[in-house]
Amino acid sequence: KQGAMGKQFSQQVEQSAKLVTDPVVTEYINRLGQNLVRNSDAQVPFTIKVIDSDEINAFALPGGFFYVNSGLILKADDEAELAGVMAHEIAHVAARHGTKQATKADIAQMAMIPIAIMLPYGWAGYGIYEGLNFAVPLAFLRFSRKDEAQADFLGLQYMYKAGYDPNAFVSFFEKIEAENRRHPG
């Protein structure tokens, strides 16, 4: 079920987004991601693609459909920082955070989420979309603090098992938070 749902949502994402097709970039990100997946608890194969977007973001859909924005790739100072963000998203899929608490009604409405993600301004665009009173549940976008903590914990383990310094994950998020405080909005 998760794979079919994820595949449907991934098709919507790919219709809405411009994918990077440079084979050097796509092969590198796929190799990095697959190494993390091999060192994770994930029970599904991952399909990893790069979206041509300046947003510093990555997201994974149920069933292992995983997208990394080019903005994230460019913002990371080294491979370990990029691996940290990717490992966190892989952990959300491995722990089934997006679907384990979803009701049937939520799942029916989730079909709009990939479209919302692709709005201008990324996640801020999603906030605007939500503010327009569209009833879109946030099961894939907003996880509980417990789910985020678990994804952090698992992601750090996956990074370490894959040979990366887990401190890079922490330093990358601190760098992004500091930048957001300097340039809010």
- Out of 52, 152, 177, 179, pick the active-site residue: 152
Question: Active-site residue 152, yes or no?
Answer: yes
Helices (H) then strands (E): counts for the chain: 9, 3
Q: 59-97 in b/e burial notation, b at 16+ Cβ within 10 A?
A: bbbbbbbbbbbbbbbebbeeebbbbbbbbbbbbbbbbbb
- Out of 55, 81, 89, 147, pick the active-site residue: 89
For 86, 149, 159, the CA distances from 36, given in Å and listed in that order, are: 8, 18, 7
Copy the structure tokens of residue 67: 């997208």
Contact criterion met (CB below 8 Å) for 168 and 81: yes
Map residue 92 onto helix, strand or coil.
helix
Active-site annotation, residues? 89, 152
